[in-house]
Amino acid sequence: MKIQVIVKTHELALKGKNRPWFMRRLVDNLKVATRGTGVERVWQGQMLVGLTLADEAAWPEVRERVRDCFGVAKFFKSYAVPPDLETVKSVLPSLLEKHSFNSFRITANRADKRFPIKSEDINRDLGAFVKDLTGAKVDLKHPDLQIFLDVLPKEIILYFEEVRGYGGLPVGVSGRVAAMLSGGIDSPVAAWQLMKRGCRVDFVHFHSYPLVDMSSIEKTIDLAQHLTRYQYDSRLFLVPLGDIQKQIILSTPPAYRILMYRRFMVRITEALARERRAKAIVTGESCGQVSSQTLDNIAVIDAVATLPILRPLVGYNKEEIINVARSIGTYATSILPDQDCCSLFVPKHPETRARVETVSRLESVLPVDELVQQALGNVTVKKFSSPEPIAAG
């Protein structure tokens, strides 16, 4: 009996001419995602992708990895048998042994209409069989166990539990973006949202080491490694901001410093993005969440960008962001204490209604291009891959 995982896609049906390409990307991503788990083959069917498992033991790990693969709407582990009901009856007892249930429902779907028995007759026949076998009763509305049966031309596939994926688009179909990753709760969630929409995400982190300790760097490395699970390969650019901050504090009133930091961050991120052919910048800002995120201040930050700045969390409440952070596994790292570069030399109450002209005037005394180039010269890069490459030998 063949054990295979059947993956149903999300949205891909809508994409017309791009569909074959999207499906190929999904197949490739699933191959990478399930590396080293006992998947023998990944293949493409009509509107679905199949993964053939070496054995039952591979399932728990495969389940986790397929769930985290974007473009997957839902999937299930299935058993393929030759297309006749007697064979189905011969394998059901051992398959049902693994489930405990007092009620069940059979849902047959005759995709191959040449199969001589109608779906409702299959349901009735197998229903009686399972009832005799287990003593459980039929419950069409709220069964403990669903038994699905798809009748295909060459085989019948049997499955029990459907698992929901995140949907979205396969990573790689939407181009590259550069996400500003702070080590806080919001920016990892923002980066993840763009991966979910098919983007490859480069991470950019600004730090004030050695003016402060390495904690924000360590957290960001951890977050980048974790998020790589969703896109398989990542780069994290670590940018020292301390020298620029020292220049800023000499000439800028405290209330404006944080905005100034942000404008430099955006300029530097944009330069890195262009080098990597990334098409947009991503931040974790949410409207009004903190003083630097008022509409006025967002406009001041945007004014130095020529690439679009995407803010996927703009309409989220903090609690909603935290819920996503928990479910994608970044929350625990994000809440560790750190020394963030933006808290350096800034007052408790920064300007909330800055004007572009004021900030530009304050900035005009600084050698902006030179500072940007200097910072770019001191960038270090870390690379991540997931699943970890299997050591040779």
Report the residue number, 50 or 242, with the smaller CB distance to ligand ATP.
242
297 binds, among ligand ATP, Mg ion, none (CB under 5 to 8 A by kind): none
Torsions phi, psi for 14 (to 5 deg)? -80, -10
**Smallest distance, Å, CB 340 to Mg ion?**
6
Report the residue number, 42 or 248, with the smaller CB distance to ligand ATP.
248
Report the residue number, 102 or 343, with the smaller CB distance to ligand ATP.
343
**Prior bond to 387 cis, omega within 30?**
yes
**Smallest distance, Å, CB 167 to Mg ion?**
28
* 63 three-state secondary structure: helix
Paired tokens of 312: 């996927």
Report the residue number, 9 or 297, with the smaller CB distance to ligand ATP.
297
Report the residue number, 5 or 342, with the smaller CB distance to ligand ATP.
342
**Smallest distance, Å, CB 137 to Mg ion?**
55
**Smallest distance, Å, CB 199 to ligand ATP?**
15
Q: Which parts of this chain interact with ligand ATP (CB under 6 A)?
A: 180-182, 184-187, 204-206, 265, 283-285, 289-290, 292-293, 340-342
**Smallest distance, Å, CB 370 to ligand ATP?**
21
284 binds, among Mg ion, ligand ATP, none (CB under 5 to 8 A by kind): ligand ATP
**Smallest distance, Å, CB 33 to ligand ATP?**
26
Rounded Cα distance between 243 and 269, Å, is 16
Report the residue number, 123 or 234, with the smaller CB distance to ligand ATP.
234
Report the residue number, 87 or 339, with the smaller CB distance to Mg ion.
339
Report the residue number, 4 or 182, with the smaller CB distance to Mg ion.
182
Nearest to 197 by CA among 164, 231, 228: 231
Paired tokens of 345: 């030399």
Is beta strand 176-180 parallel, antiparallel or unpaired with respect to 281-282?
parallel
Report the residue number, 24 or 176, with the smaller CB distance to ligand ATP.
176
Nearest to 193 by CA among 98, 372, 324, 344: 324
Give me the residue whose beta carbon is nearest to ligand ATP: 184
Q: How many helices (H) and strands (E) does the chain have?
A: 13, 15
To the nearest 10 degrees (0 to 180), the angle between helices 215-228 and 186-196 is 20
Is beta strand 103-110 parallel, antiparallel or unpaired with respect to 48-53?
unpaired
**Smallest distance, Å, CB 362 to Mg ion?**
23
Using CA atoms, how far residue 171 sits from 229, 253, 381, in Å, is 11, 43, 21
Rounded Cα distance between 180 and 311, Å, is 11
* C-beta separation of 54 from 39 below 8 A: yes
Paired tokens of 116: 């001589």
Nearest to 159 by CA among 93, 260, 79: 79
Please calculate the CA angle 257-263-267 and round it to the nearest 5 degrees.
145
**Smallest distance, Å, CB 200 to ligand ATP?**
17
Rounded Cα distance between 288 and 314, Å, is 9
341 binds, among ligand ATP, Mg ion, none (CB under 5 to 8 A by kind): ligand ATP
**Smallest distance, Å, CB 211 to ligand ATP?**
13
| DSSP string for 190-210 | HHHHHHHBT-EEEEEEEE-TT
